[in-house]
Amino acid sequence: MPYHPDIAQQIAGWWYRRGRFGASHILLALLALTMIAPFLWMVLASFKPLHEVEQINPLPTEWHPENYSRVFQKIPFARYYFNSVFVALWVTFLTCLTSALAAYAFARLRWPGRDFIFKLYLATLMIPGVVVMIPNYALMVNLHMLDSYLGLIVPAAFSAFGTFMLRQFMLTIHPALEESASIDGAGPWRIFWDVIMPLSRPGLVTLAIFTFMGNYGSFFWPLVLIKSDHLRTLPIGMLYFDSMYGRQTNLIMAASVMNILPLIIIFVLSQKVIVKGIQLGAVKG
């Protein structure tokens, strides 16, 4: 059989590409295992008795699923769950509404100083949250919103990042749709609600997911603002749980699993929507 250099080169190239493909997958698998290892340890520790949590053996010798029910017996965990979800849902709704209104004004309306004000608005992203903590707290004192749901919701209901993301998304909507609605007699509000908002749905869903996941695990602001036990969110409730009952690591791990489970479910179910929303809003065109 005659030797064909081209065929040999093709075979060698195929083996080379296959080797690179396999090596990259092995590397990604090792990275994924490294990242998921703490979560697996947390889940396994939540089923252990307290004296086995610090042992090297990752698997419990005796499984204790009652650790999860004991969390509800030690603290009002259901109440903390409700507070976190309730506050996160309201913050998500208000953030999406205010960000959409601001993004529409910056992207589709023409008014003096629009671009300059937008740059100033974006500049607030560079200010650390700790810097504005004292002014926000003083404002809550003056508005009599300390130790209340409103104090948790109102300061977080405005987002420069959300405005920027939705503005970039709205810039991709073709102006002809607006012009057609204007010819039919629609005003700015009608165009916003009936034209822009439906077309911005992927961006709104992405912003809603980011906002909910970010606010659901908020720790520092509720710690400063909330004093009453019945208003505590999950992170604050778990902090007091750890200090009141000692270092019960197995119960803390069980509470942590229940705490992050909704976030994992939301991310797994919506990851395609998140990627689509970011891609559509990334390029003006």
pLDDT tens digit sequence for 149-184: 999 999 999 989 999 989 988 888 888 888 888 888
Alpha helices in the chain (DSSP H): 5-45, 66-74, 77-107, 114-123, 133-142, 149-153, 160-170, 175-183, 188-191, 197-199, 201-216, 220-225, 234-244, 249-282
**pLDDT above 90 as % of the chain:** 24
Q: Measured between alpha carbons, how far is 271 from 277 in angstroms, rounded to an integer?
A: 10
- The reported pTM is 0.81
pLDDT at 119 over 70: yes
Q: Please, what is the average pLDDT of the chain? A: 83
pLDDT the model gives residue 129: 81
Confidence of residue 6 (pLDDT cuts 50, 70, 90): low
Biggest CA-to-CA distance, the chain: 92
pLDDT digits (tens, 9 = 90+) for 181-218: 888 888 888 888 888 888 888 889 889 988 998 899 88
Confidence of residue 102 (pLDDT cuts 50, 70, 90): very high
Q: Any idea where the domains of the chain sit in the sequence?
A: 5-45, 67-282
Please compute the mean of the pLDDT values over residues 38-53 and round it to a whole number: 86
Is pLDDT larger for residue 57 or for residue 257? 257
The count of other CB atoms within 10 Å of the CB of residue 102 is: 20
Please compute the mean of the pLDDT values over residues 111-132 and round it to a whole number: 88
pLDDT the model gives residue 284: 47
**3-state SS, residue 218:** coil
Q: Measured between alpha carbons, how far is 154 from 144 in angstroms, rounded to an integer?
A: 12
Per CATH, the number for 67-282 is 1.10.3720.10
Please compute the mean of the pLDDT values over residues 26-37 and round it to a whole number: 83
